[in-house]
Amino acid sequence: MIDELADLVSSCKSECSRERCRPLTEEHTLCAKVDKNEYCPKSNVGSGCNQMWLNYDRSYVTLPPNSNSDALQTEMSKDICLQRPMDSTFKTISFPDHYSYTYYGSTSGAWRSFPGRDATDQKCANFECRRRPWYLDGISVAKQVKILIDTGNSMGIGVTGEYQRPLQTTYLHVAIDITSSLLQTLSPGDWVEVWSFNTSGAVSLGAPVNVGPYTDPNSRPELRPLDNSVRALTHSADPAPSDLATAITKSVSSFQSTATQTLKVIIVFTDGLFSDFNTTTFPTALIAQNRVKIILFKLPRNSDSDPFLLKTTLQPILCGVQGSFELLEAPATLNPLYAIRSYFSYLAKIHEDIVESKATWSNVYKSVSQELDAVTVTAPAFDKQGSLIGVAGIDVFLSEMESRTRSLVVADLSNRRRGTQPAPANVTFVCSYQNQSLEAAAPTSCSSTLLPADGVLCQATDTRNLADRVCCGQCSTVPPPPYAWWKILLICVASLLGIVISSLALYCYCCRPNNEIMF
């Protein structure tokens, strides 16, 4: 099976995927009804139109911001290649006469959606599926998060070439980038506080922030002051090692009582040059009493004789409180949310236990494909080792349904779990301490070297403007082609997600290390 999946990856160049903003000629599209086609000239129909050319033959891919379509990062190439067979599943659950949007967002940030629907370059450039409400509601648990950033003197050193960063980029810059990205993935009702620590101790960057609703997932105003404070951090001039133990003690003591049961998580970003822990001063009892999960991410250094800190007291003390340690992959830090995917796996598995492995309904949010408030049926997908690989979803527009179907869905909705899930009273913590590189544990028969250097995404061949490509029917002089019509029973959408996920799981465990970090 692994060899067959490796062949699927290696053949990716001959079967490129269509990027949402890279149009192709000779595509078979249908003139389908939508709520609003905002790209058509208003002069044609007055206030707008509700027909649009959609591609029901293949899905379209959207990359996360700041990605290069012609030089994809390895994790994106792999996900895009392995997800191509999902199109056959999408076709069985999508119907032109009752428009719905079916999609899958991977942990790498590659987003595959069906039916294929064009968009502006700006929308493609700014779309980040891992920050969308449906994605977060599919894995989220109510939580308090403390982020500890090492600002010791060594964090001001320039990173090595393996980070593939511009000159003058320091380890602190990388930690700041990851933290800034992480802040945008918090869910409504979460609490977050950021601390900096160095040899002088630990300092909070401000009072804990309570995250607000999804008014605009791309702009979280309540988090902006904290994000600005994070970006303004500088490294210490004192060359002495940082005092992580004090930072943990202070942050553990700062968790607050909340009306909703919450997870308590401390996330540490460091280069590993902190003072060794002392068993008599480390707050083991306080951590256990507050039921706090500590996740320590270490940035790799080129001249590191002990990359996994096995020669220090970290492993026995961290495992004594059922914490976790992971050495980040330097190139992966260019894709910050992918670099810390094990954190999202931790949340997703708790979420999955709470909902008993059933699909859940998201909070209401503004759809990117329709001028309507949407509710999305979501379900996380896991690989063979139990690590999160993405979230699948299907948009549900209640106002667009037939009355009988809408009544059935509304009745069922009241029995479904929705939005961010309250944390369980008892969470079992397990120590996870990485002691070898992920590359060393990867299966050799499905190496990332099989990935094509280019050609994963098709090159654009259609030079028409966007309006010409998407306007049809009453908005265009081009008559719509004939096509078949079916009826979709959206009450079954949750069970249909199982088809998407089982299809996905068949293809997405290849190339995952056997010792992928587990919490």
373-386, pLDDT tens digit by residue? 667 888 999 998 89
Three-class SS state of 55: strand
Distance CA 512, CA 172 (A): 29
Give the tens place of pLDDT for each residue, 503-518: 455 444 444 444 444 4
Instruction: Give the domain ranges of the chain.
Output: 1-127+436-479, 137-351
Region 385-412: mean pLDDT is: 77
* 344 in Cβ contact with 316 (< 8 Å): no
pLDDT for res 368: 63
Q: Taking residues 102-120, what's their average pLDDT?
A: 94
* Size (the chain), residues: 519
Q: Which residues pair with 201 in a beta bridge?
A: 198
The residue ranking higher by pLDDT, 389 or 440, is 389
Q: Is the pLDDT of residue 442 over 60?
A: no
Task: Identify the residue whose tokens are 């056959």.
Answer: 88
Q: What is the pLDDT of residues 80-99, one digit of tens each?
A: 988 888 998 898 888 777 77
* In contact, 226 and 192? CB cutoff 8 Å: yes
The pLDDT of residue 364 is above 80? no
| Contacts of residue 425, Cβ cutoff 8 Å, sequence gap at least 6 | 261
Q: Indicate whether 487 pLDDT > 50.
A: no
3-state secondary structure of 212: coil
137-351: what CATH class? alpha beta
The one-character DSSP state at 23 is -
Distance (Å, whole) CA 183 – CA 383: 26
